[in-house]
Amino acid sequence: MRNNNMVAMILAGGRGTRLFDLTKKVAKPAVHYGGKYRIIDFPLSNCANSDISVVGVLTQYESVLLNSYVARDHHWGLNSKDGGVFVLPPREKDETGFGLYRGTADAIGQNLDFLDQEEAEYVLILSGDHIYKMNYAKMLNDHIKSKADATIAVLEVPLKEASRFGIMNCDKNDLIIEFEEKPKKPKSNLASMGIYIFTYKTLKKYLLADEKNPDSSHDFGKDIIPNYLNDNRVLKAHRFVGYWKDVGTIDSLWEANMDLLNNQNELNLFDPSWKIYTEDTNTAPQFIGEHAKIKRAYITQGCIVDGLVQDSVLFTDVKVGEDAKVVDTVVMNGAIIGKGAKVTRCIVAENVKIPDHMVIGDANSENIELVTKNTVSKVGVKDV
Amino acid sequence: MCNALGIVSFGDTNVDVLGMSNYRPVAAINFLGRYRIIDFLLSNMTNSGISNIQVYIKNKPRSLIDHVKESNFNINSKRGKIHVLYGESQITQEIYNHDISSYMSNMEFIERSNKPYVIVAPSHMVYRIDFNDVLNKHIETGNDITLIYTSTDHAKEEFFMADIVNIDSGNRVTSFVKNRGKYKSRNISLECYVMSKRLFIEMVNKAANTSSLYWFKDIIAESCDDLDIRGYQHKGYVACINSLPAYYRASMELRQYQYAKDLFKQDWPIHTKTNDSCPTLYDNGASVSNSIVANGCQIEGTVINSVIGRNVIIKKGAIVENCVILPNAYIGEDTKINTCVVDREAIVHHVKKLQGTLESPIYVKRRDRI
């Protein structure tokens, strides 16, 4: 059933350069998280749970895996007759030829024909690389009720961190009067989450104009929103309370995983009323062996554990050998921790095999070490 | 590509997992944390390229229909079909509720299949097999019926009341007897038969005409002299889940990776219904060893030698030892349970100690609160 004519558009073209080798072959939204998920599962599941039927996913950087991943829309229950997940990479066009997406606004601007075809009345713009749970239906209600041209989801951040964000200055009715990108002296602590609802008719005009502007960076935050404000359009701030994380760096990706070890964590993936859906991996349940010691860990299907796992998160199909010690570490899909090996404060990348007795990482390190196939071949085996 | 119609039969009256089968057919009993027993046979069939399958249900169809409908067994959803069928005709007494009567009342669907062969197998025998190998052997030999069997040295403890199959030196099946646990080493029938569809229909009709109490296996046993029935030995792991102790024993064996690895091969996935549970949180105070744990659990207590189903909660100070805990069960603070089977959504809270035995594990009913 199509409950409303809001079409979601997920911006999933980002590379995430500060995740180094983790995004060498996959775009950031496809990076694994939380044992069994990929980051893009969060906006996709939020769409499904908010009764959105049509989701476009705009991909660009290293998109082979991401395109085939999101195309299996039944994983999120988005395979209704009227709906679906539609992969929208840049394409060759009759008049303009082949052009990459030049910015977030351009990505949508190049797909106005898709939005026309789906008869969108409202467009929900999402980022494919944020971890959070949110009911977009409530946000749409807010948008309609306040007769806004655009509604922007905002999060209260500590004032001292506000200068890292796009900050919304609002009146007493939460109508946005000013937008400042990374202000040195922030006047408010309401940060934009990069989640927008636009009334499509108006947005279309602005996007068409923006396409023709040679000085534009074709970005929602830098160009479209300021243009709306200049024209005295009604912009509403929709306040969000809860867990929200943009995992841009190895350290923040590690932290976001560690958050799941806290049984009171706000993301609460155990909540049956707002499940996060993901691919179905056909893996066996977890086998916890005779020698296993597990102290505070978050472990998913397909793992075989026979060593110590402490304050760590194990992703699908991880093997931890006998006498191995995995502490304060995120071990990604299919990685193998050899017998007697010791891994501390690391992210072990997908399918990396840590040889028996190798020691890697340091309990007192400032930063989290990313362990890839290259690291493992460079570091020699030390005696324990 | 296996050119056969798959028929999932139900076990005879000797197959009854006491207590648990009050709520669902044996095929739909939760197994190894995240599966239902039928998943292993259906995965064998679809992994072998069988995409037209009939699942026969004797009674209590709800959970099995839900499960089969909502699982993805990896077949083309237009050309393939898993058809859930049950006896449509009125059955006045339970003794008339057998496989032959189910086949008779659904004969039009069997006849409609365009596959020249059928592979008939019950779901309570759990093993991994490529049916292509069996069908190819059957076609190559040119015999009437091929029967899959396993050779065991544990016929005294396992496969109780299953069929012992006697095979002559030419690999021909000569007779069947019930296994009453007297002998150690025997060949046990896995009750999986491969034959042409034409012969299958003929046998079903013959059984119905001979006696209205006949099961399919009765007419097979009676035909050993007239038909060329050959044995096909299956060499891998087999669990025969035909009673509560047998279910318990199989669970205890398969929680150990050295047994389970024979069923879980990378190129032979076991398909099931995904529940979209998040991973399991081993919280402060948890101590887990020698166990299978499914996703979605929150464990703060001790778990030893057990099978823990999806979304199970084990509170602080609880000790779960040698147990099978089914999905969504709750084991309260400081409870000590040993050698128990706790059914779905049961709450063990007020009783602080439960101790069963290998021969008769304690069974806590579905949705029970104790």
Q: Same domain for A300 and A232?
A: no
Q: Same domain for A254 and A311?
A: no
The answer to whether the Cβ–Cβ distance between B289 and A278 falls below 8 Å is: no
Domain boundary among B212, B227, B260: B260
Q: Same domain for B131 and B71?
A: yes
CATH number at residue B345: 2.160.10.10
Give the confidence band of B77 by pLDDT, cuts at 50, 70, 90: confident
Domain boundary among A261, A296, A319: A261
Domain that residue B20 falls in: 4-260
Instruction: Residue B271: list chain A partners with CB under 8 A.
Output: 282
In angstroms, the separation between the Cα of residue A91 and the nearest Cα of chain B is 30
Q: Same domain for B211 and B243?
A: yes
Alpha helices, DSSP H, located in A98-177 = 104-109, 112-117, 136-145
Interface of B with A (CB under 8 A): 32-34, 72, 255, 257, 260, 264, 269-271, 274, 276-284, 286-296, 298, 303
Gyration radius of chain B over CA positions: 21
pLDDT value at residue A384: 39
Q: Same domain for A197 and A128?
A: yes
Compute the distance between CA of residue A156 and CA of residue A166 in angstroms, rounded to an integer.
12
Mutation site, A72, A287, A351, interface B, largest B CB count within 10 A: A287
Q: Is residue B272 part of a domain?
A: no
| Residue A198: φ, ψ to 5° | -115, 145
Mutation site, A42, A45, A276, A280, interface B, largest B CB count within 10 A: A280
- In this model, does residue A109 exceed pLDDT 90? yes
Mutation site, B254, B281, B330, interface A, largest A CB count within 10 A: B281
In angstroms, the separation between the Cα of residue B29 and the nearest Cα of chain A is 16
CATH number at residue B131: 3.90.550.10
Indicate the residue of B32, B269, B279 with minimum beta-carbon distance to A282. B269
Q: Same domain for A36 and A171?
A: yes
pLDDT value at residue A99: 85
Compute the distance between CA of residue A160 and CA of residue A142 in angstroms, rounded to an integer.
29
Q: Same domain for B346 and B251?
A: no
- Residue identified by tokens 């579905």 is B366
The answer to whether the Cβ–Cβ distance between B276 and A291 falls below 8 Å is: no
Compute the distance between CA of residue B202 and CA of residue B219 in angstroms, rounded to an integer.
11
Compute the distance between CA of residue A383 and CA of residue A365 in angstroms, rounded to an integer.
20
The answer to whether the Cβ–Cβ distance between A276 and B276 falls below 8 Å is: yes
- In this model, does residue A352 exceed pLDDT 70? yes
Nearest CA-CA partner of B74 in B267, B263, B260: B267
Q: Same domain for A257 and A292?
A: no
Q: Same domain for A329 and A224?
A: no
Question: How many distinct structural domains can be found in chain B?
Answer: 2
Amino acid at B95: I
For A307, the closest chain B residue by CA position comes to B289
Indicate the residue of A291, A298, A309 with minimum beta-carbon distance to B279. A298
Q: Same domain for B333 and B187?
A: no
The answer to whether the Cβ–Cβ distance between A294 and B287 falls below 8 Å is: yes
Give the confidence band of A2 by pLDDT, cuts at 50, 70, 90: low
Q: Is residue B266 part of a domain?
A: no
Q: Is residue A367 part of a domain?
A: yes
Nearest CA-CA partner of B247 in B349, B124, B146: B124
Query: What is chain B's mean pLDDT, rounded?
Result: 95
pLDDT value at residue A239: 97
For A76, the closest chain B residue by CA position comes to B276
Instruction: Residue A264: list chain B partners with CB under 8 A.
Output: none
For B285, the closest chain A residue by CA position comes to A295
Q: Is residue B46 part of a domain?
A: yes
Give the confidence band of A212 by pLDDT, cuts at 50, 70, 90: very high
Q: Same domain for B76 and B220?
A: yes
- In this model, does residue A173 exceed pLDDT 90? yes
pLDDT value at residue A262: 97
Q: Is residue B275 part of a domain?
A: no
Q: Same domain for A177 and A63?
A: yes
Compute the distance between CA of residue B252 and CA of residue A2 in angstroms, rounded to an integer.
48
Query: What is chain A's mean pLDDT, rounded?
Result: 94
Residues B20-57 pLDDT 10s = 988 999 999 999 999 999 999 999 999 999 999 999 99
Q: Same domain for B40 and B156?
A: yes
How many helices (H) and strands (E) chain B has is answered by: 9, 28
- Average pLDDT rounded to a whole number, residues B160-188: 96
- In this model, does residue B289 exceed pLDDT 50? yes
- Residue identified by tokens 């464990």 is B299
Distance of alpha carbon A249 from its chain centroid, rounded? 12
Question: How many distinct structural domains can be found in chain A?
Answer: 2
Is residue B130 within 8 Å of B50, Cβ to Cβ? Answer: no
Buried/exposed code over A32-71 (b: 16+ C-beta within 10 A; e: otherwise)? bbbbbbbbbbbbbbbbbbbbbbbbbbbbbbbbeebbebbe
Residues B179-217 pLDDT 10s = 999 999 999 999 999 999 999 999 999 999 999 899 999
- Average pLDDT rounded to a whole number, residues A333-356: 97
Task: Report strand pairing: A286-288 vs A359-360.
Answer: unpaired
Q: Same domain for B241 and B296?
A: no
The DSSP code for A221 is I
For B297, the closest chain A residue by CA position comes to A270
Task: Decide if A28 touches B, using CB distance below 8 A.
Answer: no
Mutation site, B71, B74, B126, B295, interface A, largest A CB count within 10 A: B295
Mutation site, B262, B282, B303, B330, interface A, largest A CB count within 10 A: B282
Q: Is residue B158 part of a domain?
A: yes
> What share of chain A in percent tops pLDDT 70?
97
B236 sits in which H/E element:
none
Mutation site, A74, A263, A270, interface B, largest B CB count within 10 A: A270
In angstroms, the separation between the Cα of residue B285 and the nearest Cα of chain A is 7
The answer to whether the Cβ–Cβ distance between A275 and B294 falls below 8 Å is: no
- Residue identified by tokens 């891998």 is B236
The answer to whether the Cβ–Cβ distance between A36 and B280 falls below 8 Å is: no
pLDDT value at residue A383: 42
Q: Same domain for A216 and A254?
A: yes
- Average pLDDT rounded to a whole number, residues B342-368: 94
Q: How many residue pairs from chains A and B have C-beta atoms closer than 8 A?
A: 101
Q: Same domain for B253 and B341?
A: no
The predicted complex's ipTM stands at 0.94
Q: CA angle at residue A254 from A252 to A257, to 5 degrees?
A: 110
- Average pLDDT rounded to a whole number, residues A133-142: 97
Q: Is residue A157 part of a domain?
A: yes
Domain boundary among A243, A261, A279: A261
CATH number at residue A296: 2.160.10.10
**Helix (H, G, I), strand (E, B), or coil: what is residue B204?**
helix
Token digits for B30? 């939760």
Q: Is residue A241 part of a domain?
A: yes
Indicate the residue of B282, B289, B295 with minimum beta-carbon distance to A301. B295
A364 sits in which H/E element:
none
The answer to whether the Cβ–Cβ distance between A36 and B33 falls below 8 Å is: no
The DSSP code for B77 is T
The answer to whether the Cβ–Cβ distance between A298 and B284 falls below 8 Å is: no
CATH number at residue A12: 3.90.550.10
- In this model, does residue B66 exceed pLDDT 90? yes
Alpha helices, DSSP H, located in chain A = 41-49, 64-71, 104-109, 112-117, 136-145, 200-212, 225-230, 250-258, 373-378
How many C-beta atoms surround the C-beta of residue A243 within 10 A? 16
Lowest mean pLDDT among A9-23, A274-288, B243-257: A9-23
Give the confidence band of A379 by pLDDT, cuts at 50, 70, 90: low
Per 3-state DSSP, what percentage of chain B is helix, strand, and coil (rounded to 5)? Answer: 25, 30, 45
For A268, the closest chain B residue by CA position comes to B278
User: Which has more confidence, B13 or B146?
Assistant: B146
Q: Is residue A270 part of a domain?
A: no
Instruction: Residue B280: list chain A partners with CB under 8 A.
Output: 286, 298-300
- Residue identified by tokens 């050779």 is B151
Q: Same domain for A227 and A362?
A: no
**Helix (H, G, I), strand (E, B), or coil: what is residue A154?**
strand
The answer to whether the Cβ–Cβ distance between A282 and B271 falls below 8 Å is: yes
Residues A14-52 pLDDT 10s = 888 899 999 998 999 999 999 999 999 999 999 999 999
The answer to whether the Cβ–Cβ distance between B281 and A304 falls below 8 Å is: no
- In this model, does residue A1 exceed pLDDT 50? no
- In this model, does residue A377 exceed pLDDT 60? yes
Q: Same domain for A162 and A255?
A: yes
Contacts of B144 (CB under 8 A, 6+ apart): B195, B199, B227, B228, B229
Buried/exposed code over B97-111 (b: 16+ C-beta within 10 A; e: otherwise)? bbbbbbbbebeeebe
Q: Same domain for B93 and B140?
A: yes
- In this model, does residue A382 exceed pLDDT 80? no
Q: Same domain for B80 and B109?
A: yes
Give the confidence band of B95 by pLDDT, cuts at 50, 70, 90: confident
The answer to whether the Cβ–Cβ distance between A288 and B292 falls below 8 Å is: yes
How many C-beta atoms surround the C-beta of residue B224 within 10 A? 17
- In this model, does residue A127 exceed pLDDT 50? yes
Q: Same domain for B74 and B207?
A: yes
For A302, the closest chain B residue by CA position comes to B294
Is residue B160 within 8 Å of B179, Cβ to Cβ? Answer: yes
- Average pLDDT rounded to a whole number, residues A243-264: 96
For A270, the closest chain B residue by CA position comes to B278
Instruction: Residue B77: list chain A partners with CB under 8 A.
Output: none
Q: Is residue B148 part of a domain?
A: yes
Domain that residue A360 falls in: 287-378
Q: Is residue B268 part of a domain?
A: no
Q: Same domain for B135 and B236?
A: yes
Q: Is residue B271 part of a domain?
A: no
In angstroms, the separation between the Cα of residue B295 and the nearest Cα of chain A is 6
Residues A299-335 pLDDT 10s = 999 999 999 999 999 999 999 999 999 999 999 999 9
Q: Is residue A314 part of a domain?
A: yes
Amino acid at B162: A
Distance of alpha carbon B184 from its chain centroid, rounded? 23
Instruction: Residue B293: list chain A partners with CB under 8 A.
Output: 285-286, 288, 299
